[in-house]
Amino acid sequence: MPETAVLSIDIGSTYTKGGLFFVEDGRLRPGRRASFPTTTDDLRRGFAAVRAALAADEKASGAPVYFSSSARGGLKIAAIGLTPDLTLSIARMAACSAGGKIVRAFSYRLTEEEIAELETLAPDIVLFTGGTDGGSEKTNLHNARLLAASRLNAVILYAGNRKIRSEVLSLLADKEAVAADNIMPDVGVVAIEPARDVIRRIFLEKIVDGKGLADVVREVGTLPKPTPLAVYDLVGAIPAACPGWDDFAVIDMGGATTDFYSYTESFRGGDAVLLKGIREPVLKRTVEGDLGLRVSVEALWTSEKPWFEERLRIDGLDADGFAAYIRSVASRIEAMPATPIEESYDALLAGACVRAAARRHAGTSTRIYSPQGAFRVQKGKDLTRVGRLIGSGGYLSRLRDGRVLAQACADAVDTEERLLLPEKPLLYADAGYLFPLLGNLVAAFPEAAPRAAVAQLLKLESTR
């Protein structure tokens, strides 16, 4: 019998959300939805509640279940590289694109103090890189010895100079250590896929270990994905399935973090433009642990204060009231705005997250005057061709106009040094908040899942 429906469930840090999808003529049609507070002590209960609510539809009986989990706030990764601008920056990219969260990054030779810090942070994975293949050896061997002597319980993933891989692994023999191909085999060459795959596998082993998730896996017969990876895979599948979707970005904002995904060629080239540093990948994810509407709101207020003060003045809002609102929601993840004023405060906070996340994701272009004429030097990723920008997550998926998302866009001025932000993209809301759920279905429905995601987008008026 051909399958007629599938279930997709996302175990988030606050809510477990699910959706039923009907499979019709190779398309996915969204059906019933359900959500339940995540039962962090035993994830099975929340999962079962959502599954039961979805299965109340008789067509859902026997439907396969796909699921993702961001429980425990995602996978904690500490990144080690040799130089900050080369291997360490690539290690960050690899960790983010595998759905991880970087808790700390180290370069050069580790010190005893840094090892102590690592032990305190207790990451799930230490992504240990450095050196080109056949390149630097001494620093890695030094770092391997310190890691070996530490009290760390993390999985150590070695993805540095391949020539000394077996030496590094034998130094780490008493640790849980694995290896992947070098993330930078030659200077400036980015090769993050092998390390990414291993991080995914480690995620499964780690996350399935505890909190009842192993039982969920046994029950449904499929393995979970990290939630950010589900969105990452969906973003990566859209261009092939949806004509015209070649350059776009997705901002997924939650209570604690803001994720920015871009799909666009990193460097456009041209006669008088030069790329410096690493050429970033076409599909890139960054995650900002200090940008969020609730948990990280006080850090946000501090880091973006001048912008907030200007906006409060322009919008005619009371700064003291805003500060009080920030204090009151910081400790309450579920807090919802109660008045129109509080709604405008939330819009301001959301705008600040969107703005900062976009600015950190985007590269820069600087004008340089040389004896051979004026040039532009680009560093990082060019987002100027991003023609569509999608807001996802609890808050952004409910947007009804484009003002908040427009904060991700460039101011229309050509300056000596400018950020390579999207210029005038069309703005959309993930109106059904379906991105994580459809991300779980990408492997099973490589064309239908991205098409269903794009079909339900709500186009927003892009007034600023």
Backbone angles phi, psi at 77, to 5 degrees: -120, 130
148 burial via Cβ count (<10 Å: 0-12, 13-18, 19+): middle
Residue 305, interface with other proteins (CB under 8 A)? Answer: no
x-or-dash pattern for other proteins, window 89-118, by CB under 8 A?
-------------------x----------
Q: Which stretch binds other proteins (CB under 8 A): 61-69, 169-177, 345-353, 362-370?
A: 362-370
Regarding 144 and contact with other proteins (CB under 8 A), the answer is: no
Smallest gap from Cβ 134 to other proteins, in A, equals: 7
> What is d(CA 63, CA 4) in angstroms, rounded to the nearest whole number?
8
The yes or no reply on residue 366 touching other proteins (CB under 8 A) is no
Residue 365 contacts other proteins per CB under 8 A: no
Beta-bridged to residue 177, according to DSSP, are: 156
132, 227, 296, 384: which one binds other proteins (CB under 8 A): 132
Q: Does 135 bind other proteins (CB under 8 A)?
A: yes
Q: Pick from 370, 412, 413, 463 the residue near other proteins by CB under 8 A.
A: 370
Chain residues 54-83 in contact with other proteins, contact rule CB under 8 A = 82-83
> Is residue 369 involved in binding other proteins (CB under 8 A)?
yes
Q: Which is nearer to other proteins, 174 or 369 (CB)?
A: 369
- CA–CA gap between residue 54 and residue 35 (Å, rounded): 9
Contact between 27 and 14 (Cβ < 8 Å): no
User: Could you tell me how many residues make up the chain?
Assistant: 464
Q: Determine, following the binding rule CB under 8 A, whether residue 213 of this chain makes contact with other proteins.
A: no
Work out whether 85 is an interface residue with other proteins (CB under 8 A): yes
Question: Of 98-106, 133-141, 172-180, 433-441, which segment contacts other proteins by CB under 8 A?
Answer: 133-141
- What gap in Å lies between CA 367 and CA 372, rounded to an integer? 13
Please say which residue, 82 or 235, places its beta carbon nearer to other proteins.
82
Residue type, 389: L
User: Is residue 134 within the footprint of other proteins (CB under 8 A)?
Assistant: yes
Minimum Å gap between C-beta 372 and other proteins is 5
Which is nearer to other proteins, 97 or 132 (by Cβ)? Answer: 132
Read off the tokens for 308: 């907030």
10 Å Cβ neighbour count for 438?
Answer: 30
Nearest distance in Å: CB 390, other proteins: 36
What is the spatial distance between Cα 32 and Cα 168, in angstroms, rounded to a whole number?
Answer: 51
User: 276 or 400, CB closer to other proteins?
Assistant: 276
Chain residues 374-413 in contact with other proteins, contact rule CB under 8 A: 375, 377
Closest among 382, 425, 423 to 268, alpha carbons compared: 382
Candidate residues 48, 86, 125, 229; the one interacting with other proteins per rule CB under 8 A: 86
> Partners of 248 in the beta sheet?
263, 388
Indicate whether 363 belongs to the interface with other proteins (CB under 8 A). no
Does 142 help bind other proteins (rule: CB under 8 A)?
no
Near other proteins by CB under 8 A: residue from 18, 19, 46, 131: 131
Count the site residues for other proteins by CB under 8 A: 27
Distance of CA 143 to CAs 114, 115, 126, 356, Å? 11, 9, 12, 34
CA dihedral in degrees (346, 347, 352, 354; nearest 10)?
120
As measured in angstroms, the least distance from the Cβ of 373 to other proteins is 8
187 binds other proteins (CB under 8 A): yes
Write the DSSP assignment of 89-140 as a string of letters: HHHHHHHHHTTEEEEEEE-SS--HHHHHHHHHH--SEEEE--S-TTS--HHH
Q: Give the C-alpha separation, 14 to 1, whole Å.
A: 37
372 interacts with other proteins by CB under 8 A: yes
- What residue type is 327 in one-letter code? R
- Dmax (CA) of the chain: 74
Cα–Cα dist 381/265, whole Å: 8
Which residues lie near other proteins (CB under 8 A)? 82-83, 85-87, 108, 130-132, 134-137, 184, 186-188, 274, 276-277, 368-372, 375, 377
